[in-house]
Chains A and B, each alone.
Chain A
Amino acid sequence: MQFDVRLFALYRERAGSSVVTVDVPEDATVGVLSDAVRAMHPRLAPPEVRIVVAVNAEYADDDQALNPGDEVCLIPPVSGGR
């Protein structure tokens, strides 16, 4: 399955693009997809940091299955403040 993964903010800048196209196996999960993106862009985040993923505009766990046509986005930590 092929996905055009959307990147925002820090991830967009680090990848140098707002969209990254990845190919993953038919039974791929969210975790497999995010690993595939990281393999293409090793500087996206340090290895010990989990990248948060949204599927169809909802936060997704790494073991969630993907379906063709899903909108997948990588979500950097949000803005914070105190």
Chain B
Amino acid sequence: MVIRVNGLAKSFKVAKRSSGLTEALKALFYRKHTIVQALQDISFSIEPGEIVGYIGPNGAGKSTTIKVMSGILVPDQGTCEIMGFTPWKNRANYVKNIGVVFGQRSQLWWDVPVIDSFELLKDIYKVSYHDYQENLTMLIDLLNLKDIIHTPVRQLSLGQRMRCEIAASLIHNPKILFLDEPTIGLDAVSKIAVRKFIQDYAKEKKVTVVLTTHDMSDIEALATRIILIGKGQLFYDGSVTTLRESYGSQKILTIDYQKSNVELDTSLQSLILSKTEERIILRVDTKTANVSKIIGQLSSQVELIDVSIEAEPIEDIIIKLYKEYQI
């Protein structure tokens, strides 16, 4: 086990202030505080080489967990052991082993060419010249950075910059990679490039990846496992397949048929999402209804042209989970 988190809890004191000038003046001398429980009793463990999607709605405590695991924050309670280290103790020695990407913040030096940032990071992390060259060649190749590496960061597009950000966090060959919203704001092409890279790199270098995201297609494409938190609590921890099996029992059934005026028998055990003269879209819960039976029933009434069955998008499953847990 490479990451073991046990009973992690963290609360923040947040200053409360009402609007208005008098209130603002009052706040100069006296402030009311509310305690926000950011994390309560979070426990999980992660095996080497796993890619874990750490998800939850805004304010769920995702970033707080990442900050604790990367040694920035000290929790109120609980233990965390990563590669034999406690992240918030002996910070300097621990952080050599991890790479962190904060999707919303840059770690590159803004006004100089990307390569200069890489070189400074090499010195900060004390990477040997040989390792650096080897690593850099690979990163340039995999992330397709050849044409942008001599451009100042401020002139890069967001997608180009994110690829450089990811490369920057891997210069020192970390064994664990924390990605906090790595695809935020990226266009479809860049998103796919970033995902593909993370997948290939993790596989080749056997790095453990923990990523937070709001984009469920990231999870679908990358993660083998999901940890879902909300309001600081852990609600689900398991594989994507299990999640689908237990929550994704609904299928979307689209059936095209020869134009007909026959009034379809709507006593089908399903929910009609839309219906025209030549197409009907149904949502079927496979727990209570049988897809083939429904198709059979329909084919006896009209002449079918095409049938497609789709699993429910993971996004919908997650929304269902959020609703179920009221987070």
Q: Say whether A and B bind each other.
A: no
Binding site for A on B (CB under 8 A): none
